[in-house]
Amino acid sequence: MNYFSSTKDNPTVNNIIMLLVRVFVGIAMIILHGLPKLEKYMAGGEIKFYDFLGMGAGATLILAILLELIGAFLIMIGLFTRAAALVLMVVMFIAAFGAHYGDPFSVKESSLLFLSIFALIFTFGPRNFSIDSMISKRRESRW
C-alpha cells in the first residue's frame, strides 16, 4: 500500500514527528521570543512592554520571560506538556491580539504560528517519547 494514500496512522511515525515538533518549537520559542525578551530586560534602561495585567511593564516582561522559557523547555522534554502548551497559547494570543493589536499580519505572524502549533500540541499531547508518557505508563503499571 502506498504510504501517501493510506488513511491509517503509523503510531511510531506519529510519535517521532511529535517529538521533533516539540523540540523544534521549543528551541524556536526560546530563540525567537524568550531570549530576546531576557536580553531586553538584562540591558537595563526603561522597559517598554505590553502591560496586559496592570502590574507594570517590568513585572509583566519578567512573567512573559519565565512563561516562554520554562514553558518551551517543558514542551521540549514532554513534561506537563498540555499545561505548558495551554499557557503558551494564552501568551501567544495576547502577543498577537493585544501587544500587536493594529499591527500588520507580518508582525503577528510569528505569534499566530506559535499559537497554532501549541494548540496542536495541546490537542494531541506529547505522545510516547516524553516524560509525561513515562509517568503515565508507570502509573498504569501500578494498578
| Residue 93 structural domain | 11-142
What pLDDT, on a 0 to 100 scale, did the predictor assign at position 10? 87
| Average pLDDT of the segment spanning 3-28 | 90
CA atoms within 13 A on the CB side of 69: 12
- Which SS3 state, helix, strand or coil, does residue 140 take? helix
Higher pLDDT, 2 or 86: 86
What pLDDT, on a 0 to 100 scale, did the predictor assign at position 143? 61
Considering the domain boundaries, does residue 5 fall inside one?
Answer: no
Residue 136 pLDDT > 70, yes or no? yes
Q: How far is CA 54 from CA 32, 44, 60, 143, in A?
A: 25, 21, 8, 47
Considering the domain boundaries, does residue 6 fall inside one?
Answer: no
What pLDDT, on a 0 to 100 scale, did the predictor assign at position 55? 92
pTM to 2 decimal places:
0.90
- Binned at pLDDT 50, 70 and 90, residue 44 comes out as confident
Considering the domain boundaries, does residue 64 fall inside one?
Answer: yes
Q: At what angle do helices 57-77 and 11-29 cross, to 10 degrees?
A: 150
Considering the domain boundaries, does residue 85 fall inside one?
Answer: yes
Total domains present in the chain: 1
Considering the domain boundaries, does residue 3 fall inside one?
Answer: no
Q: CA-to-CA distance for 29 and 32, rounded, in angstroms? A: 5
